[in-house]
Amino acid sequence: MKNLRREFIKKTLLGVSFIAVTNPFKQLWALTKVIPCVTPSWNELIEIARWAPTIHNLQPHQVKIISEIEAELFYNPERLLPVEDPDSIFTTIAMGVFIEHLSIAAAPFGYKVTIEHFHDSVSIKSSKPTLFATLKLVSTIEKEELNKNLIFDRRTSRLHYDGKKLKQNTIKRIKKEAEKFDHDFFHSSEKEVVDFVVNLNEETLFEDLASKPTRDELDRLFRYSKKEAKTHKDGLWTKCMGFSGRLTRSIFKNHNRWTKGFRKKLLKKYYMSTFKGTSTICWFGGAFNQKEDWVQCGRMFARTWLIMSDENAYIHPFGSLITNKNAYSKIKDQLTQPEAPKKTWMIFRAGYSKTPTRSFRSVSYTHLTLPTKRIV
Protein backbone atom coordinates (compact mmCIF):
# COMPACT_ATOMS: atom_id res chain seq x y z
CA MET A 1 0.00 0.00 0.00
CA LYS A 2 2.85 2.32 0.93
CA ASN A 3 4.60 1.52 -2.34
CA LEU A 4 1.47 2.34 -4.31
CA ARG A 5 1.11 5.64 -2.43
CA ARG A 6 4.77 6.56 -3.14
CA GLU A 7 4.32 5.74 -6.83
CA PHE A 8 1.19 7.88 -7.00
CA ILE A 9 2.91 10.85 -5.33
CA LYS A 10 5.97 10.44 -7.57
CA LYS A 11 3.91 10.40 -10.75
CA THR A 12 1.82 13.34 -9.56
CA LEU A 13 4.88 15.46 -8.79
CA LEU A 14 6.48 14.55 -12.09
CA GLY A 15 3.29 15.54 -13.83
CA VAL A 16 3.24 18.91 -12.07
CA SER A 17 6.91 19.46 -12.93
CA PHE A 18 6.27 18.55 -16.55
CA ILE A 19 3.39 21.00 -16.76
CA ALA A 20 5.45 23.73 -15.07
CA VAL A 21 8.33 23.24 -17.49
CA THR A 22 6.34 22.94 -20.69
CA ASN A 23 3.73 25.59 -20.03
CA PRO A 24 6.02 28.54 -20.82
CA PHE A 25 6.81 26.96 -24.17
CA LYS A 26 3.10 26.68 -24.89
CA GLN A 27 2.77 30.39 -24.09
CA LEU A 28 5.73 31.21 -26.32
CA TRP A 29 4.23 29.13 -29.14
CA ALA A 30 0.95 30.98 -28.69
CA LEU A 31 2.84 34.27 -28.85
CA THR A 32 4.49 33.35 -32.15
CA LYS A 33 1.07 32.57 -33.55
CA VAL A 34 -0.15 36.04 -32.60
CA ILE A 35 2.97 37.83 -33.88
CA PRO A 36 4.37 35.94 -36.88
CA CYS A 37 8.04 36.54 -37.58
CA VAL A 38 7.73 37.98 -41.08
CA THR A 39 10.53 40.00 -42.60
CA PRO A 40 9.42 43.52 -43.45
CA SER A 41 10.42 44.88 -46.83
CA TRP A 42 13.21 47.43 -46.84
CA ASN A 43 10.89 49.69 -48.81
CA GLU A 44 8.44 49.75 -45.90
CA LEU A 45 11.18 50.58 -43.43
CA ILE A 46 12.73 53.30 -45.58
CA GLU A 47 9.36 54.95 -46.12
CA ILE A 48 9.15 55.43 -42.34
CA ALA A 49 12.82 56.09 -41.55
CA ARG A 50 13.21 58.76 -44.22
CA TRP A 51 11.43 61.16 -41.85
CA ALA A 52 14.44 61.04 -39.56
CA PRO A 53 16.02 64.43 -38.82
CA THR A 54 19.30 65.31 -40.54
CA ILE A 55 21.55 68.33 -40.25
CA HIS A 56 19.84 71.15 -42.19
CA ASN A 57 17.43 68.52 -43.55
CA LEU A 58 19.99 67.46 -46.18
CA GLN A 59 19.05 63.75 -46.08
CA PRO A 60 22.44 62.39 -47.16
CA HIS A 61 21.57 58.72 -46.70
CA GLN A 62 20.91 56.34 -49.58
CA VAL A 63 20.00 52.66 -49.34
CA LYS A 64 20.94 49.88 -51.73
CA ILE A 65 18.94 46.71 -51.07
CA ILE A 66 21.02 43.55 -51.32
CA SER A 67 18.55 40.91 -50.14
CA GLU A 68 15.51 40.50 -47.93
CA ILE A 69 17.66 40.84 -44.83
CA GLU A 70 20.67 42.84 -45.99
CA ALA A 71 21.12 46.39 -47.26
CA GLU A 72 23.98 48.80 -47.83
CA LEU A 73 23.83 52.34 -46.48
CA PHE A 74 25.58 54.99 -48.57
CA TYR A 75 26.06 58.73 -48.10
CA ASN A 76 25.72 61.26 -50.89
CA PRO A 77 28.69 63.70 -50.86
CA GLU A 78 26.58 66.30 -52.65
CA ARG A 79 24.49 66.54 -49.46
CA LEU A 80 27.27 67.43 -47.02
CA LEU A 81 28.30 70.70 -45.36
CA PRO A 82 31.95 71.50 -46.13
CA VAL A 83 31.81 74.78 -44.18
CA GLU A 84 29.61 74.09 -41.15
CA ASP A 85 30.39 70.38 -40.73
CA PRO A 86 33.81 69.93 -42.39
CA ASP A 87 34.58 66.68 -40.57
CA SER A 88 31.03 65.38 -41.22
CA ILE A 89 30.58 64.54 -37.54
CA PHE A 90 26.97 65.68 -37.37
CA THR A 91 26.22 64.06 -40.70
CA THR A 92 27.54 60.80 -39.22
CA ILE A 93 25.29 61.33 -36.19
CA ALA A 94 22.40 61.70 -38.64
CA MET A 95 23.33 58.35 -40.21
CA GLY A 96 22.99 56.81 -36.75
CA VAL A 97 19.59 58.44 -36.30
CA PHE A 98 18.45 57.00 -39.63
CA ILE A 99 19.66 53.49 -38.72
CA GLU A 100 17.81 53.61 -35.41
CA HIS A 101 14.62 54.73 -37.15
CA LEU A 102 14.93 51.76 -39.49
CA SER A 103 15.25 49.47 -36.48
CA ILE A 104 12.24 50.96 -34.69
CA ALA A 105 10.21 50.62 -37.90
CA ALA A 106 11.17 46.92 -38.08
CA ALA A 107 10.18 46.17 -34.46
CA PRO A 108 6.47 45.38 -35.07
CA PHE A 109 7.60 42.56 -37.37
CA GLY A 110 9.81 41.05 -34.68
CA TYR A 111 13.03 42.39 -36.21
CA LYS A 112 15.72 44.94 -35.49
CA VAL A 113 18.40 46.48 -37.70
CA THR A 114 22.04 45.85 -36.83
CA ILE A 115 25.26 47.19 -38.30
CA GLU A 116 27.20 44.26 -39.75
CA HIS A 117 30.18 46.24 -41.02
CA PHE A 118 31.37 49.82 -41.11
CA HIS A 119 33.02 50.91 -44.34
CA ASP A 120 34.25 54.37 -45.34
CA SER A 121 33.80 57.35 -43.04
CA VAL A 122 31.67 60.25 -44.27
CA SER A 123 34.00 62.67 -46.05
CA ILE A 124 33.55 65.88 -48.00
CA LYS A 125 36.41 64.67 -50.23
CA SER A 126 34.29 61.90 -51.73
CA SER A 127 33.07 62.50 -55.29
CA LYS A 128 30.34 59.86 -55.54
CA PRO A 129 27.84 58.00 -53.31
CA THR A 130 30.05 56.08 -50.90
CA LEU A 131 29.36 52.94 -48.89
CA PHE A 132 29.13 53.76 -45.19
CA ALA A 133 27.76 50.59 -43.54
CA THR A 134 26.23 47.19 -44.21
CA LEU A 135 22.93 46.70 -42.41
CA LYS A 136 21.14 43.50 -41.51
CA LEU A 137 17.62 42.62 -40.40
CA VAL A 138 17.84 40.30 -37.39
CA SER A 139 14.91 38.59 -35.69
CA THR A 140 14.50 39.49 -32.02
CA ILE A 141 12.21 38.80 -29.07
CA GLU A 142 13.19 42.07 -27.41
CA LYS A 143 10.24 44.37 -26.84
CA GLU A 144 10.49 47.77 -28.50
CA GLU A 145 9.09 50.44 -26.20
CA LEU A 146 8.84 53.12 -28.89
CA ASN A 147 5.95 53.08 -31.35
CA LYS A 148 7.07 53.60 -34.95
CA ASN A 149 4.31 56.18 -35.42
CA LEU A 150 6.27 58.53 -33.17
CA ILE A 151 8.65 58.97 -36.10
CA PHE A 152 5.86 60.79 -37.95
CA ASP A 153 4.94 62.84 -34.86
CA ARG A 154 8.48 64.06 -34.19
CA ARG A 155 9.17 67.71 -34.97
CA THR A 156 11.72 70.42 -34.28
CA SER A 157 9.95 73.35 -32.67
CA ARG A 158 11.46 76.81 -33.06
CA LEU A 159 8.16 78.35 -31.95
CA HIS A 160 7.38 80.09 -28.67
CA TYR A 161 7.23 77.62 -25.78
CA ASP A 162 4.57 77.89 -23.08
CA GLY A 163 7.01 78.50 -20.23
CA LYS A 164 6.40 75.19 -18.46
CA LYS A 165 9.41 73.20 -17.31
CA LEU A 166 10.05 69.78 -18.76
CA LYS A 167 8.08 67.19 -16.78
CA GLN A 168 9.93 64.99 -14.30
CA ASN A 169 8.63 61.78 -15.88
CA THR A 170 10.03 62.90 -19.24
CA ILE A 171 13.38 63.68 -17.63
CA LYS A 172 13.48 60.25 -15.98
CA ARG A 173 12.74 58.48 -19.26
CA ILE A 174 15.39 60.46 -21.16
CA LYS A 175 18.00 59.85 -18.47
CA LYS A 176 17.24 56.12 -18.38
CA GLU A 177 17.49 55.80 -22.16
CA ALA A 178 20.75 57.77 -22.31
CA GLU A 179 22.28 55.53 -19.65
CA LYS A 180 21.65 52.48 -21.85
CA PHE A 181 24.18 53.98 -24.26
CA ASP A 182 26.53 55.03 -21.44
CA HIS A 183 25.69 58.69 -22.04
CA ASP A 184 24.94 61.37 -19.47
CA PHE A 185 21.86 63.56 -19.59
CA PHE A 186 21.94 67.00 -18.01
CA HIS A 187 19.16 69.55 -17.71
CA SER A 188 18.51 72.87 -16.02
CA SER A 189 15.56 75.21 -15.58
CA GLU A 190 17.56 77.80 -13.65
CA LYS A 191 17.04 81.22 -15.21
CA GLU A 192 20.78 81.95 -15.24
CA VAL A 193 21.50 78.78 -17.24
CA VAL A 194 18.59 79.26 -19.65
CA ASP A 195 19.54 82.90 -20.29
CA PHE A 196 23.21 82.01 -20.72
CA VAL A 197 22.52 79.34 -23.36
CA VAL A 198 19.89 81.36 -25.26
CA ASN A 199 22.09 84.47 -25.32
CA LEU A 200 25.16 82.45 -26.34
CA ASN A 201 23.16 80.86 -29.15
CA GLU A 202 22.21 84.31 -30.46
CA GLU A 203 25.78 85.56 -30.16
CA THR A 204 27.12 82.48 -31.97
CA LEU A 205 24.58 82.69 -34.78
CA PHE A 206 25.59 86.23 -35.69
CA GLU A 207 29.27 85.35 -35.37
CA ASP A 208 28.78 82.47 -37.82
CA LEU A 209 26.75 84.63 -40.21
CA ALA A 210 29.59 87.14 -40.36
CA SER A 211 31.42 84.52 -42.42
CA LYS A 212 30.59 84.74 -46.13
CA PRO A 213 31.31 81.02 -46.79
CA THR A 214 28.82 80.14 -44.04
CA ARG A 215 26.20 82.52 -45.44
CA ASP A 216 26.67 81.15 -48.96
CA GLU A 217 26.28 77.58 -47.74
CA LEU A 218 23.09 78.42 -45.84
CA ASP A 219 21.67 80.53 -48.66
CA ARG A 220 21.97 77.50 -50.94
CA LEU A 221 19.90 75.48 -48.45
CA PHE A 222 17.20 77.95 -47.49
CA ARG A 223 13.75 77.45 -48.98
CA TYR A 224 12.15 80.87 -48.82
CA SER A 225 8.61 79.84 -49.79
CA LYS A 226 6.35 76.80 -49.59
CA LYS A 227 6.72 76.38 -53.35
CA GLU A 228 10.51 76.16 -53.04
CA ALA A 229 10.25 73.80 -50.06
CA LYS A 230 7.79 71.54 -51.84
CA THR A 231 9.88 71.51 -55.02
CA HIS A 232 13.19 70.66 -53.38
CA LYS A 233 11.80 68.62 -50.45
CA ASP A 234 14.97 69.26 -48.47
CA GLY A 235 16.87 72.11 -46.86
CA LEU A 236 15.69 74.77 -44.43
CA TRP A 237 12.15 75.97 -45.04
CA THR A 238 11.86 79.39 -43.41
CA LYS A 239 8.39 78.57 -42.09
CA CYS A 240 9.90 75.69 -40.09
CA MET A 241 12.63 78.05 -38.90
CA GLY A 242 10.03 80.45 -37.53
CA PHE A 243 11.08 83.30 -39.84
CA SER A 244 9.49 85.26 -42.64
CA GLY A 245 10.72 84.07 -46.01
CA ARG A 246 10.96 87.62 -47.33
CA LEU A 247 12.97 88.80 -44.31
CA THR A 248 15.34 85.82 -44.40
CA ARG A 249 15.95 86.28 -48.12
CA SER A 250 16.78 89.94 -47.54
CA ILE A 251 19.23 89.05 -44.74
CA PHE A 252 21.14 86.64 -46.96
CA LYS A 253 20.93 88.53 -50.24
CA ASN A 254 21.64 91.98 -48.73
CA HIS A 255 23.67 91.01 -45.67
CA ASN A 256 25.55 94.31 -45.27
CA ARG A 257 22.30 96.17 -44.73
CA TRP A 258 21.64 94.08 -41.60
CA THR A 259 25.06 94.31 -39.96
CA LYS A 260 24.84 97.76 -38.42
CA GLY A 261 22.55 100.43 -37.05
CA PHE A 262 18.90 99.99 -36.23
CA ARG A 263 18.48 97.05 -38.66
CA LYS A 264 21.04 95.00 -36.72
CA LYS A 265 19.33 95.79 -33.40
CA LEU A 266 15.92 95.03 -34.90
CA LEU A 267 17.10 91.70 -36.29
CA LYS A 268 18.62 90.58 -33.00
CA LYS A 269 15.51 91.61 -31.10
CA TYR A 270 13.33 89.70 -33.56
CA TYR A 271 15.50 86.60 -33.31
CA MET A 272 15.57 86.63 -29.50
CA SER A 273 11.79 86.99 -29.38
CA THR A 274 11.46 83.52 -30.95
CA PHE A 275 12.79 81.98 -27.71
CA LYS A 276 9.90 83.25 -25.63
CA GLY A 277 8.76 80.68 -23.05
CA THR A 278 12.03 78.71 -23.00
CA SER A 279 12.37 77.27 -19.51
CA THR A 280 14.48 74.09 -19.83
CA ILE A 281 17.90 73.58 -21.36
CA CYS A 282 19.23 70.04 -21.88
CA TRP A 283 22.56 68.59 -22.97
CA PHE A 284 24.13 65.18 -23.55
CA GLY A 285 27.63 63.95 -22.80
CA GLY A 286 29.28 60.76 -23.99
CA ALA A 287 32.01 59.16 -26.07
CA PHE A 288 32.59 61.44 -29.06
CA ASN A 289 35.93 60.63 -30.68
CA GLN A 290 35.33 58.42 -33.72
CA LYS A 291 32.82 57.23 -36.28
CA GLU A 292 31.44 54.43 -34.10
CA ASP A 293 30.87 56.92 -31.25
CA TRP A 294 29.04 59.37 -33.50
CA VAL A 295 26.73 56.66 -34.85
CA GLN A 296 25.93 55.60 -31.28
CA CYS A 297 25.22 59.23 -30.43
CA GLY A 298 22.78 59.31 -33.33
CA ARG A 299 21.01 56.11 -32.31
CA MET A 300 20.64 57.36 -28.75
CA PHE A 301 19.53 60.83 -29.86
CA ALA A 302 16.91 59.26 -32.14
CA ARG A 303 15.39 57.35 -29.24
CA THR A 304 15.44 60.21 -26.74
CA TRP A 305 13.90 62.59 -29.27
CA LEU A 306 11.08 60.10 -29.89
CA ILE A 307 10.56 59.83 -26.13
CA MET A 308 10.11 63.61 -26.13
CA SER A 309 7.48 63.21 -28.85
CA ASP A 310 5.79 60.47 -26.83
CA GLU A 311 5.62 62.92 -23.92
CA ASN A 312 4.13 65.65 -26.17
CA ALA A 313 7.30 67.72 -25.81
CA TYR A 314 9.44 69.38 -28.48
CA ILE A 315 13.10 70.25 -28.78
CA HIS A 316 15.20 72.79 -30.65
CA PRO A 317 18.87 71.74 -31.06
CA PHE A 318 21.63 74.37 -30.80
CA GLY A 319 24.23 72.68 -32.99
CA SER A 320 26.36 75.79 -33.47
CA LEU A 321 27.19 75.81 -29.75
CA ILE A 322 29.10 72.59 -30.39
CA THR A 323 30.61 73.36 -33.80
CA ASN A 324 31.70 76.94 -32.98
CA LYS A 325 34.97 76.74 -31.01
CA ASN A 326 34.42 79.98 -29.08
CA ALA A 327 30.93 78.96 -28.02
CA TYR A 328 32.01 75.43 -27.09
CA SER A 329 34.76 76.80 -24.86
CA LYS A 330 32.18 78.87 -22.97
CA ILE A 331 29.85 75.88 -22.70
CA LYS A 332 32.61 73.84 -21.08
CA ASP A 333 33.28 76.64 -18.60
CA GLN A 334 29.67 77.36 -17.64
CA LEU A 335 27.74 74.09 -17.83
CA THR A 336 28.18 70.89 -15.85
CA GLN A 337 30.37 68.56 -17.88
CA PRO A 338 30.56 64.75 -18.07
CA GLU A 339 33.63 63.04 -16.70
CA ALA A 340 36.49 62.70 -19.19
CA PRO A 341 36.90 61.20 -21.70
CA LYS A 342 33.21 61.89 -22.30
CA LYS A 343 32.34 65.19 -24.01
CA THR A 344 29.29 67.40 -24.29
CA TRP A 345 28.10 66.89 -27.86
CA MET A 346 24.50 68.14 -28.01
CA ILE A 347 22.62 71.07 -26.45
CA PHE A 348 18.97 71.92 -26.97
CA ARG A 349 16.00 73.65 -25.44
CA ALA A 350 13.02 71.47 -24.59
CA GLY A 351 9.44 72.27 -23.76
CA TYR A 352 5.90 72.57 -25.01
CA SER A 353 4.56 74.55 -27.95
CA LYS A 354 1.92 74.51 -30.62
CA THR A 355 2.42 71.84 -33.27
CA PRO A 356 5.16 73.14 -35.59
CA THR A 357 5.17 72.79 -39.37
CA ARG A 358 6.82 69.61 -40.61
CA SER A 359 9.55 69.93 -43.22
CA PHE A 360 9.39 68.00 -46.47
CA ARG A 361 11.37 64.87 -47.36
CA SER A 362 12.57 63.63 -50.72
CA VAL A 363 12.72 59.98 -51.80
CA SER A 364 16.37 60.03 -52.83
CA TYR A 365 17.20 56.41 -52.14
CA THR A 366 18.62 53.74 -54.44
CA HIS A 367 16.63 50.48 -54.54
CA LEU A 368 18.33 47.56 -56.20
CA THR A 369 17.64 43.81 -56.12
CA LEU A 370 14.43 44.11 -54.19
CA PRO A 371 13.14 40.57 -53.48
CA THR A 372 9.40 39.93 -53.50
CA LYS A 373 9.41 36.69 -51.52
CA ARG A 374 9.07 36.98 -47.76
CA ILE A 375 10.63 34.70 -45.17
CA VAL A 376 8.06 33.35 -42.70
Q: Which of 3-7, 172-176, 356-360, 370-374 has the lowest mean pLDDT?
A: 370-374
> Does residue 275 lie within any of the structural domains?
yes
Q: Dihedral (C-alpha) 57, 60, 65, 71: value to the nearest 10 degrees?
A: -100
Q: How far apart are CA 90 and CA 80, in angstroms?
A: 10
Summarised one tens digit per residue, pLDDT across range 310-319 is: 999 999 999 9
> Does residue 347 lie within any of the structural domains?
yes
Summarised one tens digit per residue, pLDDT across range 19-47 is: 233 333 333 333 333 344 578 999 999 99
Domain count within the chain:
3
> Does residue 132 lie within any of the structural domains?
yes
> Does residue 372 lie within any of the structural domains?
no
pTM of the shown model: 0.87
What is the model's pLDDT at position 9?
41
Same domain (yes/no): 8, 144: no
Q: How far apart are CA 218 and CA 54, in angstroms?
A: 15
In this predicted structure, the answer to whether residue 51 has a pLDDT above a threshold of 70 is yes
Same domain (yes/no): 149, 199: no
84: containing domain: 42-153
Mean pLDDT of the chain, nearest integer: 89
Summarised one tens digit per residue, pLDDT across range 270-306 is: 999 999 999 999 999 999 999 999 999 999 999 999 9
pLDDT band at 364 (very low <50, low <70, confident <90, very high): low
> Does residue 172 lie within any of the structural domains?
yes
> Does residue 161 lie within any of the structural domains?
no
Summarised one tens digit per residue, pLDDT across range 137-185 is: 999 999 999 999 999 999 999 999 999 999 999 999 999 999 999 999 9
Domain holding 60: CATH number? 3.40.109.10
Summarised one tens digit per residue, pLDDT across range 218-276 is: 999 999 999 999 999 999 999 999 899 999 999 999 998 998 889 999 999 999 999 99
Same domain (yes/no): 197, 64: no
Same domain (yes/no): 48, 29: no
DSSP character string of 42-86: HHHHHHHHTTS--GGG---EEEEE-SSSEEEEEE-GGG--TTTST
Same domain (yes/no): 3, 65: no
